[in-house]
Amino acid sequence: MCLIRRLSASKVAGTLPLNDPRARLQAALAAVNQATSDYDLNPGRQSPGVPLRAAAVLIGLQQGRGGLSVVLTRRSAALRHHAGQIAFPGGKLDPSDADATAAALREAQEEVGLSPELVEIIGQMPGHETVTGYSVTPVLATIAPDFRPAPEPGEVAEVFSVPFSHLTDLSRYRVERRIWQGEWRKYYAVPWGPYYIWGATARMLFALATAVNAR
């Protein structure tokens, strides 16, 4: 059984200064009250209405010398689906997972070697529906500064971090489009250096950035 540390609202209010990033994230999380979807920018396309498969991802924030950053992965080029794309650690819920948080922690440990003991859970964002038929729960958390990634080569080609200041700057986001299943589809993108962050990952980050900027 893994140890899951949760950062409660009362702990934030009682022990953390207002400029502490965890307090800011807790406040932002409370402001995220609407589910998101890959269909948000494509009102002409409708969800097929089939039962969605449950999945979870870990939006892990780590404090470093350069400030707060978000841990992301570049998926292996050998994968059958979403090869080479930028993603959070995460995946489908297994029958053994107690909930979305447990699934996100398990996947993060399997994919990037992140021990649950190095994670402090802040909370869950509303779900995100993907065009591939998943309902993804983003789990927001902080990661201990001494975490060193150990990527699973069969799934993850690279683990890297993006400054939180970049990802919460709404001017960095743009709406682009590409052909998908014979039709143009719009999507969010937030590039950083050589990394092209787009699709569901960018949409979830945009929701978080919007909430952070609303505080």
Q: Write the CATH number for 194.
A: 3.90.79.10
Residue 168 has pLDDT above 60, yes or no: yes
Confidence at residue 25, expressed as pLDDT on a 0 to 100 scale? 87
Report the alpha-carbon distance of residue 5 to residue 3 in Å, rounded.
Answer: 6
In a domain, 94, yes or no: yes
In a domain, 43, yes or no: no
Report the alpha-carbon distance of residue 208 to residue 14 in Å, rounded.
Answer: 24
- Which residue, among 57, 59, 67, 58, has the nearest Cα to 165 in the 3D structure? 67
Residues with Cβ within 8 Å of 178's Cβ and at least 6 positions away in sequence, in order, are: 184, 185, 187
Instruction: Lowest mean pLDDT of 52-56, 82-86, 174-178, 185-189, name the range.
Output: 82-86
In a domain, 206, yes or no: yes
User: What pLDDT band is residue 128 in, cutting at 50, 70 and 90?
Assistant: very high
Domains held by the chain: number: 1
In a domain, 46, yes or no: no
In a domain, 44, yes or no: no
Report the alpha-carbon distance of residue 76 to residue 157 in Å, rounded.
Answer: 5
Q: Which two tokens stand for residue 163?
A: 């400054």
Question: Mean per-residue pLDDT for 15-37?
Answer: 76
In a domain, 40, yes or no: no
Residue 14 has pLDDT above 70, yes or no: no
Q: Kindly state the percentage of the chain with pLDDT values over 90.
A: 66
What is the residue range of 22's domain? Answer: 5-35+51-214
